[in-house]
A and B are shown apart, each in its own frame.
Chain A
Amino acid sequence: MTPSLHLLVNGVRREGAVPPTERLLDTLRWRLNLRGTKEGCRSGACGACTVLIDGRPRLSCLTLSHQVGEAPILTVEGLESDPVGRAVLETFVAEAALQCGYCTPGFVVALTGLLKEHPGATETTLLEGLQGNLCRCTGYSSIRRAVTRLSEPKR
């Protein structure tokens, strides 16, 4: 049985039949063709699949699409249209805070969520908030530089 589902993804209402136990990660990637959200571990441990649901960072690999309900979903594809998301993207580019880029959607989405939840967050808060996101190639220093810049008070 594939009950029908409505999702609000990046401001667009999407609709379709989705099996009851399908993960949001799979619905986004394989039904909605939003391949920016990545699958790393599929077990909650790497953060590559992070999306915002109701503005809060969530792991799409451990969320059933049918559990989301009416709540708006923001994926990496929608970050540009969000002012906080855009600032995060620009800072990652300015600091070249990526190498292969596989972990990057998770990092920028998680950071956007953290900055929205804690406007003016300190560097420590942001770094602690990113502890659930793993990167296997940058060595983290460029990501840290981006975080430092994002935590500086805007003049």
Chain B
Amino acid sequence: MQLLAPTRAEEAIAALLDGPEGRVAVLAGGTDLLLDLDEGKSSPEVLLSLHRLPWRELTWEAERLEIGATLPLAQLEQDPELARRIPGLHEAVGAIGGVALRHQATLGGNLVRASPVSDLIPILLALECEVGLLGSGGERSLPLEQFLLGPRRTALQRGELVRRVWVPALPSAFRWQRVRPANDVSQISVAVAFAPKEERWRIATAGVAPLARRAKAAEAILRGPSPGEEAIAAAGASAAEEAEVRQDRRATDAYRRHLLRTLVLRAIRAVATGVGGQPA
């Protein structure tokens, strides 16, 4: 196996298009890909490492945050503004693996992996982030919901790389439940965001089949920045009902459904109190 580590985006894209499909595997933090190589799930001829590309931006714009695809999650977590401006993203990043893992895992890798148990996908769905894809013809952007096609399936085309993600800065919260706090897979995770201009609530859950998804019926029950307890309870029940929960060695389907309802309630309350308590 050969390792390429280009310093310029054009070289990286050219390397991707060189030779038959499947010849090149993209390597970012390696926390998923190196395990696949060890298990023989992937056997590329070339590893294209992104670590020398200058793709580690962390740029606050007026109403959103631009995150370069290869920024290690720990650097995102340590941004002094993140907990205040996008609390749900701060909570979700802190839930990933342990500190050392977060110093290598990247946001781009997490999205392309498109794992049903990703802790970043629900919050990014709830925040309605956009993904920037770079190819030989330039960069295009897609809403995350259109980027994710299924488990391990994305709208990335041959010769394209995830270049960056734009995350709207909104009141938000992330709640999760696991057997062990770190380096374990969440049984359920729930993300909630509130868009004050449109007065819209957004709820997304993971640990449900086949991939994290929005709970749109539950969202429609909530109105205004401080929905009452009755509406919150109804939204929790609705989210639990519409979810296709899985049963596996980590949890029964009944327990997952129970967790989902509870975590939806907690996440909505967290956002509602945050919204009520601080000027927009």
Q: A residues within 8 Å of B by Cβ? A: 1, 3, 20-21, 23, 42-47, 50, 53, 56-59, 62-64, 66-67, 69, 110, 113-114, 129-133
Known: A62-B30, A64-B49. A131 touches B183 (CB 8 A): yes
- Give the size of the chain B interface in residues (CB under 8 angstroms): 27
A66-B5 in contact (CB<8A): yes
Q: Give the chain A neighbours of B5 by CB distance below 8 A.
A: 66-67
Q: How far is the CA of A25 from the CA of B120 in the complex (A)?
A: 28
Q: Which of B35, B98, B183 has the most CB of A within 10 A?
A: B98
A-B contact count (CB 8 A): 83
Q: Give the chain A neighbours of B190 by CB distance below 8 A.
A: none
Q: Which of B97, B100, B181 contacts A50 (CB 8 A)?
A: B100
A110-B99 in contact (CB<8A): yes
Q: B residues within 8 Å of A by Cβ? A: 1-3, 5, 27, 29-31, 34-35, 37-38, 47, 49, 51-52, 74, 97-101, 103-104, 181-183
Q: Which of B3, B30, B38, B99 contacts A42 (CB 8 A)?
A: B38
Query: What's the minimum C-beta distance from B23 to chain A, rounded to whole angstroms?
Result: 15
B99-A114 in contact (CB<8A): yes
B181-A44 in contact (CB<8A): no
Q: Give the chain B neighbours of A69 by CB distance below 8 A.
A: 51-52
Q: Give the chain B neighbours of A20 by CB distance below 8 A.
A: 1-3, 47
Nearest to A133 among chain B residues (CB) is B98
Q: Give the chain A neighbours of B30 by CB distance below 8 A.
A: 62-64, 67
B100-A132 in contact (CB<8A): yes
